[in-house]
Structure 1
Amino acid sequence: MILLYFIIGIYALAMLFILLYSFAQANLLYHFFQFRKNIPKAHQPSWEELPVVTVQLPVFNEKYVVERLLDAAAKFNYPKDKLEIQILDDSTDETAGIVQKYIQDFPEIDFQYIHRQDRRGFKAGALKAGLEVAKGDFIAVFDADFVPDPDFLLQTIGHFSNEKIGMVQSRWTHLNESYSLLTRLQAFALDAHFMVEQMGRNHQKAFINFNGTGGIWRKSCIVDAGNWHDDTLTEDLDLSYRAQQKGWEFIYRPDIKSPAELPPVMSAIKSQQFRWTKGGAECAAKHLKNVWKEPFGLRKKLHASAHLLNAVIFIAVVIVSLCSIPLWWGFQQGMIPGEVFQGAALFLIGFVIIALVYFFANLSLVDFSAKGILRFLWELPVFLSVSMGLSIHNAQAVWEGLTGKKSPFIRTPKYNLSDDRQSWKHNIYHQLKVPVTTYLEGGMALVFLLMVILSIYFHTYEMLVFHGMLALGFTLVSVESFRSYRI
């Protein structure tokens, strides 16, 4: 009995973390509504006043998308004598030849091809190497899977007339969100970040992050903040916090769109998720102490904590999931009074808040159309289920990040798939090795499917919806994972 009450305590603490995180999200949702009323606009300099800009395109083995990227970069609407485009190529395959052949056809454009033989520092190292020889006072960055808008530079550069502005970030949009269920669910999640979270933080001058691409920096801001570091897997988040702790201000422009490709298969999604979640945890370990030591104000510190520790929610989900099994048993045996379960309903407030965040983030992009609302009604439970299904994989990443375990930068394979008739199976960059966590996910799918069956058989329904979502989530994640590791 003592052990059961101990499990109840652990369960309650994990649920409390989720609830507190949801309160931070509720505050961001409020400021999202305020931000929408007054989206910042930039001073528009004349053509003659435009400064020199360097566009950095970090590339590593991207033969499927690199020409698309270069096509878009060649179309920037900006004075040719004030625009430098650096191709920071660490490739070890035919990508290098594709790039060099391509740029020969554009002698009027200042393409600077920089090829490193040593990938030291990975993306951060490439950006730093390019910065050392960059001609521009302003540095725009686009990853290989992006298709930047021709007017991106003109839409953002005017913000730098304010000497305090260090970076301007645009909103990611999605080239292939309709390709599959997986790409649609990723768009569902990213839209919440780029609408509610980025807008909510920026409105109240909390720390926001450069998203690694689709943004433009003041070069002196990067240098003043200590340049690019490679000691975390999210060099973008790391530099963002260092710059803002030095007093630089960031601007977020949700109305400026930067289209990008979403990973279409689970193995690629997991690669990206692992890097983001572990890197965020590494940045928490690196920066949270300094944030709380500095006189930033309590609200700013709390939002920084919620921001840097947001992926810890995956550890909380794993704990809640595992604890729910003995708790179900306790209810079934009559060892836990019904009042305990009724009191636990308080934690449902957190899930309602999170649902509202995704509702307003996604529906605001389609003007709250009837079609959008109907789509939301099935997307939300499926998204939450798949997020739970990814909890083991992401919890491992968070734990490694918080405890200081290092791992190499694994980039996400790009596919250049525009519709569902194209196949990803022949991509040579595709991962083949099945990680141990995929087998654990399959095991968890069977466990929670069994819990659903037992709940129905014994008429013990307290955990039925939760266990049903876990069974669905772990099943989808494990099946798609095994499927995606096959060529």
Structure 2
Amino acid sequence: MFNWGDAFGRENYFSHLLAKIILVIYGLCLVLIFLYSVLQLSLAVNYKKNQIKDKRKPLDFNPEKAPFVTIQLPMFNELYVAERIIEQVAQMDYPLDKFEIQVLDDSTDETVDVIAKKVIEVREKYGVNIEHIHRTNRIGYKAGALAAALPAAKGEFVAIFDVDFLPDTDFLQKTITEFEAENIGVVQTRWGHINKHFSILTELQAFGLDGHFAIEQVGRNSVGHFINFNGTGGIWRKACIEDAGGWQHDTLTEDLDLSYRAQMKGWKFIYLEDVIAPAELPITMSALKGQQHRWMKGGAECFRKMGKRLLTAKGIKFSDRIHGLSHLFNSSIFIFIVIMSLLSLPILHIKDSFEDLNFIIQFGSIFILSTLFLMYYYWNSYREKTADKRKTRWQFFVRFFQFLTVSMGLSLNNAVAVIEGYMGIKSSFVRTPKFNVSTIKDGKIENKYDKKDISLVTIFEGILCLLFGITAINRLAYGDIGMVPFHAMLAIGYGTVFYHSIAEVHDSSFAIVPKLNAKTSNVNA
């Protein structure tokens, strides 16, 4: 094996110093990942405690006392799913004289005409008060559309649904009663998954999102920590939006930004785990990577914008401050994963070359503890959402490591997004392409909005797959298996992401237009 210590001469102090610097950075990444896992563990503990004590019954809905609600449907060039959401929301089981629908259309293609016809159709069919608001510019993207339409909203409350959502007709009945207290600014519901079983990719996304919408949201909300409106599937008190400064478009996650501004002004949020808002998951790797890029970059932008304010704001408990900062900082975990994984390569040579530093390397086992904490976190959400309890443990074990492996494969894509966010590099709001499918039986897919190309990030994902794969095989051959599982997971993760990214560009089998008027699919909560 390569001996770093003797490579440049017996008295090479520089190599020893460099080894120590690498170990310090590597150790710092491990510590930060460990702290992240500890905070996630604490949320899982909060979740378990809440399950025991939460006996709150929903308030009865009284149609005569129902407040006026404005439903906003922001969309941009959504040819395949625009009609579906309009049809669904128009059937809302709520007094017709107590709600209105604003279709916020920024489209620049034939979707404009499709929406216009659908609005007329549902107005005549259901008698709903619905308005088609078409902007000729995309200033501020989604946040800009929401902000522009808010002054015309007649409702005391504003429900927001992205175009890929299919809320149940009793959604308003189940949520509006939660605004009994005047300081309640938001009621957020849990996302369901229309197409969870479309592929292994959608199942892994559902696995991760269920962790957020069960453990993370409940774990924070149950003890009074800040949570976030998830951009859709929830209701705002209009006065809360205005008091917090309204929708702003200086970040890609306007929902997270406004959520923290509102809660720092004293508004309270309620999260309803038992009320499900079904949504469509991305079915292509390009769509998933684009969505992840926007979420991760937006999170970093919000930390840059709100971190100092949260740290210095008055009247916020210390624990709320810590969890809030952790929440805003969450996306940065991918930077540490990338750095740690890259430094693990020279770490192997340091172990071979410097016996006096081996005791420090042993602290790397803390990563195993972090993994166990995260297993407990996801185990609680998976167990609650799995019907067949007898198979749950084995299914979870397989699914968790599949999820962890693909998450590692996405870490470069996400880390680049986070770095862009911290550097203030602005980019347009690239919305996730929707396909209007629930299972693979719906046919092959073509979506003119799903732009696929081979990016520099994709090329590096392929290189990293080879690098970690060769390293794992090499160390296995030498009988040094300590980091083999870690490097094997990295190789498989990057390889999976790279393969699908390349295959989607060249594979013409992804190629028929999805149905425009598909019926509502069964929801996999």
TM-score by length of 1: 0.97
Report the equivalent of 2:430: 410
Q: Cα deviation per residue 1:329-382 (whole Å; 9 max; x = unaligned)? A: 223446465533433223322111011101111111126712232221211111
CA contact (8 A) 2:435 2:445 kept: no
Report the equivalent of 1:265: 284
Residue of 333, 336, 343 corresponding to 1:323: 343
Report the equivalent of 1:392: 412
Q: Cα deviation per residue 1:14-33 (whole Å; 9 max; x = unaligned)? A: 00000011111111111111
CA contact (8 A) 1:58 1:87 kept: yes
What secondary structure does 2:382 align onto? helix
Is residue 2:247 matched to residue 1:228?
A: yes
Matched ranges for 1:87-486 at <5 A: 87-106=103-122, 107=124, 108-295=127-314, 296-333=316-353, 335=355, 338-366=358-386, 369-423=389-443, 425-486=445-506
Q: Judge which range, 361-370 or 158-167, deviates more.
A: 361-370
Is residue 2:33 matched to residue 1:18?
A: yes
CA contact (8 A) 1:330 1:336 kept: no
Query: 1:153 offset after TM fit, Å?
Result: 0.3
Report the equivalent of 1:29: 44
Query: 1:423 offset after TM fit, Å?
Result: 4.5
Query: 1:218 offset after TM fit, Å?
Result: 0.4
Q: Cα deviation per residue 1:107-126 (whole Å; 9 max; x = unaligned)? A: 21111110000110100011
Question: Using the alignment, how far apart are the partners of 2:361 and 2:302 within structure 1?
Answer: 37
Cα 1:232–1:327 change in 2 (3 A) is: same
Cα 1:440–1:39 change in 2 (3 A) is: farther
Question: Using the alignment, how far apart are the partners of 2:181 and 2:505 within structure 1?
Answer: 49
- Residue type of the alignment partner of 1:168: V
Question: Using the alignment, how far apart are the partners of 2:292 and 2:195 within structure 1?
Answer: 18
What secondary structure does 1:411 align onto? coil
Query: 1:277 offset after TM fit, Å?
Result: 0.4
CA contact (8 A) 2:188 2:272 kept: yes
CA contact (8 A) 2:334 2:412 kept: yes
Cα 1:424–1:167 change in 2 (3 A) is: farther
**Consecutive unaligned residues in structure 2, runs of 5 or more:** 1-15, 509-525
What secondary structure does 1:383 align onto? helix
Report the equivalent of 1:4: 19
Cα 1:362–1:94 change in 2 (3 A) is: same
Query: 1:40 offset after TM fit, Å?
Result: 4.6
Identity %: 45
Q: Judge which range, 380-389 or 437-446, deviates more.
A: 380-389
Report the equivalent of 2:76: 60
Query: 1:83 offset after TM fit, Å?
Result: 1.1
What secondary structure does 1:251 align onto? strand
Q: Cα deviation per residue 1:7-56 (whole Å; 9 max; x = unaligned)? A: 11110000000001111111111111122231654433421110110000
Query: 1:101 offset after TM fit, Å?
Result: 1.1
CA contact (8 A) 1:56 1:139 kept: yes
**Consecutive unaligned residues in structure 1, runs of 5 or more:** none
CA contact (8 A) 1:448 1:468 kept: yes
- Residue type of the alignment partner of 2:33: I
CA contact (8 A) 2:196 2:438 kept: no
Q: Judge which range, 205-214 or 381-390, deviates more.
A: 381-390
Cα 1:373–1:299 change in 2 (3 A) is: same
What secondary structure does 2:366 align onto? helix
CA contact (8 A) 2:61 2:174 kept: no
CA contact (8 A) 1:85 1:112 kept: yes
Question: Using the alignment, how far apart are the partners of 1:120 and 1:42 within structure 2?
Answer: 39
RMSD between aligned residues: 1.4
- Residue type of the alignment partner of 1:383: F
Report the equivalent of 1:77: 93
Query: 1:93 offset after TM fit, Å?
Result: 1.2
CA contact (8 A) 2:80 2:435 kept: yes
Q: Cα deviation per residue 1:126-159 (whole Å; 9 max; x = unaligned)? A: 1111111011110000000000111110001111
Q: Cα deviation per residue 1:48-103 (whole Å; 9 max; x = unaligned)? A: 11011000000111111112111210111000111101100111111111111112
Query: 1:404 offset after TM fit, Å?
Result: 1.2
Which entry has the higher C-alpha Rg, 1 or 2?
A: 2
Question: Using the alignment, how far apart are the partners of 2:445 and 2:59 within structure 1?
Answer: 47
